[in-house]
């Protein structure tokens, strides 16, 4: 039995929350370092009952957690957790768990017509899209952050949670009101990120119910599910024995809150019949890796994701906890290596990281993710797998382990020292994990002692063993995301085979460590002196003028024991530059940041700062340049040393370093050009701010003009003259320690010879921009895989009486103005929302009507009180110094004064000057011919020429070719093989040559999906373009429209795929694109399935392009040969700029 060193004194308890600042500083100096070790056995169980919380279970089965906590002040974090999510849904219920979550805020037995929302708004509680509830595969969680400074508020908020538990009203009218908002949330998730996540999820959990039960559900269920089905689901699964209520907040009497919970929940009787047992849904393991090449035309860039699944573990004993620490050290050490690789010359990826993640209740995964250049996914994957294999063979060095240990020790030290300032939401979330996943809650004091005791004894061998979990034979799923197809499944398999062979042959060399300097500042500077000092008793601050001209203002606070924050700023920024210099100089921060702004490369500095909590960053804006930092009081010297290095070292770019930075910038620009929302935002800025160079996006053509030497020279000059800067320092400061450090490292920054007189705010040059003087309405049409619509208006309004939008954002932008003493500034107020494309014009009119109403009639007294309450709640815990000017504005705010303000700030009447910019999907060629798939101009024919062999119902093959958005609709029929014979052969003719990029197949459930697909191409051309001539170079197969099963089995396929059960319709199988050019007809052979008696296919989609004429033209037009709306090339793909407006 393993024992750790004995403790010499009992575990330290938490300090008093009201201790004086000096006491806190004293405890900070000796607190963690004097914390004694504990004597524990590895078999010793950790407490099953959570520590530091009133915890219990009512007779009806409800579990409760209640704890008093002072941060944030006069707030309580409440929650109701239900151990039920989307995975328990039946086929006709897909999405119902999420719909119930929406209905809870709509109406209950006591609250109707969104009264709960009105109550939360009236008390200034946070409320909005994605803020108050979430539905996952395994659980549903409702969350409230409410004020408790007025009698009755907490009591009523707990009553709301009690209503959610059993009193949600589910009527036909309620459901119809919420369908629009749920559909808009569904639509919002069908962007590039959502499509990629859904695809990966289906592949990760293939063979389990989790693959088929995404929480958002299906569009068909959202649109058509009857309210009886929703009500039945709610009453079946929402039982108090499956629930827990949580209350953590700034209330003095914990027992009183427990009594409130008993009053609201205790009277609810348990069901007469036992509730159904929540079933387990196993996820099958697999030895062979699964691969996916996902081509997403709107992807932000190329990426590789390696996920290795394993059973979820629970921490029950000290040994389990020690193993979890060793696991964290593994990922920490591996991430250090991955970062260093990303900073090499010609790296395989731009960024890469590793982590462990609990995916669903029975499964967790090790996930390694990288972003890389286009055409670089195969290289990135090889590097990722190679590094983990290197760890398995050679382990980590002692220095790597010590760095990981120091980083983890620093984190737990900070958490321990700030244990009295822990946020209530953080504690609530800990208790949530205890209820939902049995994570132990032992208290921060004991956890700090455990880590301090255990971490020094964890060996490199213990850490390295976790690399085995990253094996490609451990239920591994490898996904590659690309905006255009470059990598194939064969490429990925070849990489896995190559790395495995190298590892088996011990042919991977050890990690090569570089030398790390001992000190950040090689020679201590001569301290400066204080030439002037002023006290500001009104705000408790001290101002000092240093001998080098830098002005310092510091304030001692007791908000957080382990934090000091500071910002240094100087007037003068990018607005002072000419248009010719702007592009190069605006890249200065990017280039310098990647090379290293403190005299060391980022990978070297990372090791130098290991175990220290000190960060410094820079920013160069239009009118100001600044540096900001965050550090522990014990690491203030390190943070100030970084500032000293910033001013005293020059960034000198080397060609190979600049090449990588510019390549990253280029990839980022291409990604922006692919993104419809970026195209929309760029056009909106262009409309609202004219042709101002400052608001223009950087294009590839601009990037080629960037002078990296000039860029770095500009950056160096921005942080050179200390006399131009004012530095504000706030936090747990001990002046007797901090001021000498300030004098040495800030006062020691040398003055600049022949320094230019620092600019004042009155000297600044304003940016050239002008808001349009007339009404402008414009529709930005962008290629989209799935139809989305986003609207921006130049006015403020809150949409709350329509369910056609899910989220609304009202923003104010004043960033184009230089700092002003008068407050006379220009800017814009915008309303942004997403909606159904068909509803955009109607909703724009609704917004304008609301603004006009507010200007002419004014807001109600209730609206003003609600706004004041929300603003006050945000101010109370966000700002610590009372603002007299703000109080005067609040006192003067009435419906009449707000009405006058709207008339003055916004053009009155509002309809005389505004802009409306609407993002819409570019029209799809598919939609142009959606009545039938007969394309006279070239493409796919849905007439008698489309045939299938071995179909059980003659002509049923035609039903599988349908619009992409209908791919999961089975009402129109499907293709099925004859009983006992799963083989199918589908012949697809085209009326002109086509290029096929990918194929999508949606099959049936219960083993009836096809498991293999072979492509047999008749008349396949490899071609090139020669001045208006199309030249067939090689005919791979003779045109044979009458291929039968014997032919199919004997012919060599052009390409073959192992298929997954793609029940969600999210997977695409990439073709070898160069071999699928000039296809006249295509035969798909499905030789086998997953064990069913028949093979069922509900959908076949082909993505690519068709030539306009028939095999004798040069120009190609871009349109779908599969029913996937709006999949068009952009000009950026053909060498031109991105087309914003149709």
Q: What is the pLDDT of residue 881?
A: 58
Active site residue 850: no
DSSP one-letter code for 632: -
Average pLDDT, integer, range 78-107: 95
Q: Is residue 414 within 8 Å of 634, Cβ to Cβ? A: no
pLDDT at 18 over 70: no
- The model's pLDDT over 293-333, given as tens digits with 9 standing for 90+, comes to 988 777 778 999 999 999 999 999 999 999 999 999 999 99
Name the more confident of 1068 and 569: 569
Residue 1024 has pLDDT above 50, yes or no: no
Question: Averaged over 1100-1124, what is the pLDDT?
Answer: 43
Task: Give the list of residues 6+ apart from residue 392 with CB closer than 8 angstroms, or none.
Answer: 464, 467, 468, 503
Under DSSP, the state recorded for 3 is B
**Lowest mean pLDDT across 529-533, 676-680, 807-811:** 807-811
Model confidence, pTM:
0.71
Phi and psi of 62, rounded to 5°?
A: -70, 135
Give the per-residue pLDDT at 1112.
31
Of the pLDDT bands very low, low, confident and very high (cuts 50, 70, 90), residue 793 is: low
Task: Report how far residue 413's alpha carbon sits from residue 404's, in angstroms, rounded to the nearest whole number.
Answer: 14
For the segment 1119-1130, the average pLDDT, to the nearest whole number, is: 29
Q: Which CATH number fits domain 530-746: 3.40.50.300, 2.70.50.60, 3.40.50.1820, 3.30.830.10?
A: 3.30.830.10
Q: How far apart are the first and last CA of the chain?
A: 74
> Tell me, what's the pLDDT at 897?
86
Q: What pLDDT does 878 receive?
A: 53
Q: How confident is the model at residue 59 (pLDDT cuts 50, 70, 90)?
A: very high
Output 234 or 802, whichever has higher pLDDT: 234
pLDDT(925) > 70 = no
CB atoms within 10 A of CB 648: 18
How far is 1066 from 967, CA to CA, in rounded Å? 10
Q: Is the pLDDT of residue 969 over 80?
A: no
- The pLDDT assigned to 1076 comes to 79
pLDDT band at residue 868 under the 50/70/90 scheme: confident
Mean pLDDT across 721-725: 94
Instruction: Please tell me the least confidently modeled range out of 56-65, 264-273, 432-441, 1034-1043.
Output: 1034-1043
pLDDT tier, 3 (very low <50, low <70, confident <90, very high otherwise): very low
Indicate whether 1073 pLDDT > 80.
no
**1097 band by pLDDT with thresholds 50, 70 and 90:** very high
| pLDDT the model gives residue 1074 | 66
438 is catalytic: no
pLDDT digits (tens, 9 = 90+) for 246-260: 999 999 899 999 999
Range 77-94 average pLDDT: 96
Q: Which residue intervals of 819-954 are DSSP H helices?
A: 840-857, 861-876, 884-892, 895-905, 925-928
Residues in the chain, total: 1142
Confidence of residue 783 (pLDDT cuts 50, 70, 90): low
Residue from 121, 178, 219, 976 carrying the catalytic annotation: 178
User: Any residues with CB less than 8 A from the CB of 786 and at least 6 apart, and which?
Assistant: 187, 190, 191, 195, 921, 964, 965, 1125, 1126
What CATH class does 947-1106 carry? mainly beta
Give the DSSP H or E segment for 452: helix 444-454
Per-residue pLDDT reduced to its tens digit, 220-230:
999 999 999 99
Percent of the chain's residues with pLDDT above 90: 45
Q: Which fold has domain 290-505?
A: Cytochrome Bc1 Complex; Chain A, domain 1 (3.30.830)
- Distances in Å between the alpha carbon of 711 and those of 378, 554, 721? 33, 33, 18
CA distance 1018 to 1080: 7
Provide mean pLDDT across the span 704-721: 92
Per-residue confidence (pLDDT) for residue 936, from 0 to 100 = 30
Q: Is 1135 exposed, middle or buried (0-12, 13-18, 19+ CB in 10 A)?
A: exposed
Q: Say whether pLDDT at 462 is over 80.
A: yes
- The tens digit of pLDDT for each residue in 691-709 reads 777 888 888 888 888 898 9
Band (pLDDT 50/70/90 cuts) for residue 913 is confident
Find the mean pLDDT for residues 353-370: 95
Between β-strands 1079-1086 and 984-1003, what pairing exists: parallel, antiparallel or unpaired?
A: antiparallel
Q: Between 644 and 1040, where is the model more confident?
A: 644
Residue 997: what pLDDT? Answer: 78
Superfamily of segment(s) 54-267 = Metalloenzyme, LuxS/M16 peptidase-like (3.30.830.10)
**Once rounded to an integer, what is the mean pLDDT over residues 329-343?**
95
Q: Is 962 helix (H, G, I), strand (E, B) or coil?
A: coil
Give me the CATH code for the 776-924 domain, please: 3.30.830.10
> pLDDT band for position 862 (50/70/90)?
confident
The pLDDT value recorded for residue 90 is 95
Question: What is d(CA 242, CA 220) in angstroms, rounded to the nearest whole number?
Answer: 29
Q: Are 306 and 291 in contact (CB under 8 A)?
A: no
Instruction: Check if 290-505 and 947-1106 are the same fold.
Output: no
- 1135/231: higher pLDDT: 231
**What is the maximal distance between C-alpha atoms in the chain?**
96
Range scoring the smallest mean pLDDT among 10-24, 346-360, 574-588, 857-871: 10-24
Q: pLDDT of 127-177, one tens digit each?
A: 554 458 899 999 999 999 988 888 889 999 999 999 999 999 999 999 998
- Cβ-based neighbours of 375, under 8 Å, separated by 6 or more: 302, 486
Q: Taking all residues of the chain, what is their mean pLDDT, rounded to a whole number?
A: 81
Average pLDDT of 175-187? 87
pLDDT of residue 357: 93
Reported as type and span, the H/E element at residue 77 is: strand 75-82
Spatial contact of 487 and 1073, defined as CB atoms under 8 Å apart: no
Domain boundaries, the chain: 54-267, 290-505, 530-746, 776-924, 947-1106
In DSSP terms, which residues pair with 541 in a beta bridge?
Answer: 536, 555
- pLDDT higher than 70, residue 109: yes
Identify the band that residue 1107 occupies on the pLDDT scale cut at 50, 70 and 90: low
141-155, 733-747, 983-997, 1012-1026: which has the highest mean pLDDT? 733-747
Nearest alpha carbon to residue 1068 among 1023, 1103, 1041: 1103
The span from the CA of 438 to the CA of 1130, in Å, is 50
Instruction: Give pLDDT, residue 617.
Output: 94
**pLDDT above 70 for 792:** no
**DSSP secondary structure of 755-779:** PPPPP-GGGPPPP-----SS-EEEE
CA angle at residue 725 from 720 to 731, to 5 degrees? 120
Across 237-241, 779-783, 836-840, 937-941, least confident range: 937-941
Which member of 101, 382, 400, 786 is catalytic?
101
* Rounded distance between C-alpha atoms, residue 1135 and residue 720, angstroms: 41
Check residue 882 and give its pLDDT.
55
Range with lowest mean pLDDT among 636-645, 706-715, 1026-1035: 1026-1035
Spatial distance between the Cα atoms of 547 and 569, rounded to a whole number of angstroms = 18
Name the residue with higher pLDDT: 657 or 388. Answer: 388
- pLDDT at residue 1106, as a whole number: 64
Higher pLDDT, 343 or 805: 343
């Amino acid at each position: 039995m393993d024992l750790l060193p004995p403790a010499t004194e009992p575990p330290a308890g938490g300090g008093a929350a009201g201790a004086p600042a000096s006491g806190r500083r004293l405890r900070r100096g000796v607190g963690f370092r004097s914390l004694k070790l504990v004597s524990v056995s590895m078999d010793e169980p950790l407490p099953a009952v959570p520590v530091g919380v009133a915890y219990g279970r009512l007779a009806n089965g409800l579990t409760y957690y209640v704890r008093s906590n002072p941060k944030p002040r006069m707030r309580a974090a409440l929650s109701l957790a239900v151990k039920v999510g989307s995975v328990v849904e039946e086929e006709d219920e897909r999405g119902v768990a999420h719909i119930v979550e929406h209905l809870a805020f709509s109406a209950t037995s006591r609250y109707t017509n969104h009264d709960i929302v009105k109550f939360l708004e009236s008390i200034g509680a946070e409320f909005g899209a994605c803020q108050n509830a979430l539905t996952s595969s395994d659980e549903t969680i409702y969350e409230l952050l409410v004020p408790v400074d007025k009698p009755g508020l907490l009591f009523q908020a707990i009553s709301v949670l009690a209503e959610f538990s059993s009193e949600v009203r589910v009527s036909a009218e309620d459901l119809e009101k919420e369908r629009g908002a749920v559909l808009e949330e569904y639509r919002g998730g069908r962007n590039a990120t959502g499509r990629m996540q859904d695809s990966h999820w289906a592949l990760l959990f293939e063979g389990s119910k989790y693959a088929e039960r995404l929480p958002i559900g299906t569009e068909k269920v959202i649109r058509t599910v009857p309210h009886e089905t929703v009500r039945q689901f709610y009453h079946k699964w929402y039982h108090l024995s499956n629930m827990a209520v949580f209350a953590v907040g700034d209330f003095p009497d914990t027992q009183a809150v427990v009594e409130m919970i008993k009053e609201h929940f205790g009277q609810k009787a348990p069901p007469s019949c036992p509730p159904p047992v929540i079933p387990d849904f196993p996820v099958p393991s697999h030895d062979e890796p699964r691969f996916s090449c996902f081509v997403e035309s709107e992807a932000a860039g190329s990426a590789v994701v390696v996920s290795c699944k394993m059973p979820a573990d629970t921490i029950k004993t000290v040994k389990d906890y020690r193993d979890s620490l060793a696991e964290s050290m593994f990922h920490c050490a591996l991430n250090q290596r991955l970062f260093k690789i990303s900073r090499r010359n010609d790296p395989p990826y731009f960024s890469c990281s590793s982590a462990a993640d609990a995916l669903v209740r029975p499964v967790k995964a090790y996930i390694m993710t990288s972003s890389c250049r286009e055409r670089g996914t195969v290289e990135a994957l090889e590097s990722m797998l190679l590094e983990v294999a290197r760890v398995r063979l050679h382990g980590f060095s002692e220095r790597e382990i010590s760095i990981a240990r120091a980083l983890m020790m620093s984190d737990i030290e900070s958490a321990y020292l700030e244990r009295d300032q822990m946020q209530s939401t953080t504690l609530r979330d800990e208790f949530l994990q205890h209820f939902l996943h049995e994570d132990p809650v032992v208290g921060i004091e004991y956890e700090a002692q455990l880590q301090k005791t255990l971490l020094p004894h964890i060996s490199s061998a213990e850490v390295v063993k976790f690399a085995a979990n990253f094996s490609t034979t451990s239920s591994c799923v490898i996904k590659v995301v690309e905006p255009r197809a470059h990598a194939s499944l064969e490429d990925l398999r070849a990489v896995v085979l190559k790395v495995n062979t190298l590892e088996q042959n011990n042919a991977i060399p050890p990690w090569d460590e570089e030398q790390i300097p001992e000190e950040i500042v090689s020679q201590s500077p001569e301290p400066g002196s204080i030439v002037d000092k002023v006290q500001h008793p009104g705000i408790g601050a001290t101002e000092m003028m240093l001998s080098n001209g830098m002005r310092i203002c510091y304030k001692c606070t007791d908000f957080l024991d382990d934090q000091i924050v500071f910002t240094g700023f100087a007037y003068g920024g990018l607005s002072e530059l000419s248009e010719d210099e702007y592009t190069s100089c605006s890249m200065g921060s990017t280039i310098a940041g990647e090379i290293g702004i403190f005299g060391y490369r980022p990978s070297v500095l990372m090791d130098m700062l290991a175990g220290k909590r000190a960060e410094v960053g820079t920013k160069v804006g239009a009118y100001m340049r600044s540096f900001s930092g965050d550090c522990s009081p014990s690491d203030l010297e390190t943070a100030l040393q970084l500032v000293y290095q910033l001013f005293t070292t020059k960034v000198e770019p080397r060609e190979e370093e600049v090449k990588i930075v510019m390549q990253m910038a280029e990839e980022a620009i291409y990604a922006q050009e692919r993104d419809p929302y970026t195209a929309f935002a760029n056009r909106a800025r262009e409309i609202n701010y004219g042709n101002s160079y400052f608001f223009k996006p950087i294009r590839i053509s601009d990037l080629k003009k960037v002078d990296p030497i000039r860029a770095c020279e500009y950056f160096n000059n921005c942080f050179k003259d200390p006399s131009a800067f004012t530095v504000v320092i706030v936090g747990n400061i001990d002046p007797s320690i901090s001021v000498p450090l300030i004098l040495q490292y800030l006062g020691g920054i040398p003055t600049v010879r022949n320094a230019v007189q620092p600019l004042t705010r009155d000297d600044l040059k304003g940016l050239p921009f002008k808001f349009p003087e007339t009404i402008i309405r414009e529709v930005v049409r962008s290629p989209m895989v799935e139809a989305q619509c986003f609207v921006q208006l130049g006015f403020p309004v809150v949409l709350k009486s329509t369910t056609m939008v899910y989220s609304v954002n009202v923003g104010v932008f004043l960033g184009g103005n230089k700092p002003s003493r008068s407050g006379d500034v220009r800017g814009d107020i915008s309303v942004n929302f997403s909606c159904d494309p068909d509803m955009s014009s109607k909703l724009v009119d609704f917004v304008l009507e609301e603004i006009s109403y507010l200007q002419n009639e004014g807001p109600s007294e209730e609206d003003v009180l609600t706004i004041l309450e929300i603003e006050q709640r945000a101010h109370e815990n966000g700002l610590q110094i009372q603002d007299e000017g703000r109080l005067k504005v609040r006192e003067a705010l009435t419906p009449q004064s707000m009405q006058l303000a709207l008339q003055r700030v916004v053009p009155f009447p509002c309809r005389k000057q505004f802009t409306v910019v609407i993002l819409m999907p570019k029209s799809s060629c598919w939609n142009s011919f959606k009545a039938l798939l007969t394309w006279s101009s070239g493409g796919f024919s849905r007439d008698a020429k489309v045939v299938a062999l071995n179909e059980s119902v003659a002509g049923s093959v035609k039903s599988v070719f349908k619009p992409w958005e209908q791919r999961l609709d089975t009402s129109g029929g499907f293709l099925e093989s004859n009983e006992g014979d799963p083989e199918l052969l589908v012949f697809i003719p085209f009326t002109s040559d086509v290029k096929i990029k990918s194929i999508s197949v949606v099959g049936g459930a219960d083993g009836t999906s096809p498991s293999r697909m072979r492509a047999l191409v008749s008349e396949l051309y490899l071609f090139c373009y020669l001045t208006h001539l199309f030249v067939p170079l090689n005919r791979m197969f003779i045109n044979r429209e009458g291929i039968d099963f014997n032919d199919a089995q004997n012919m060599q396929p052009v390409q073959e795929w192992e298929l997954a059960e793609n029940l969600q319709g999210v997977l695409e199988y990439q073709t070898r694109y160069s071999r699928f050019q000039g296809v006249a007809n295509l035969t798909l052979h499905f030789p086998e399935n997953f064990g069913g008696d028949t093979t069922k296919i509900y959908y076949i989609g082909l993505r690519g392009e068709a030539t306009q004429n028939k095999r004798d033209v040069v120009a190609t037009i871009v349109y779908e040969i599969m029913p996937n709306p709006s999949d068009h090339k952009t000009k950026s793909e053909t060498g031109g700029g991105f087309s914003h407006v149709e």
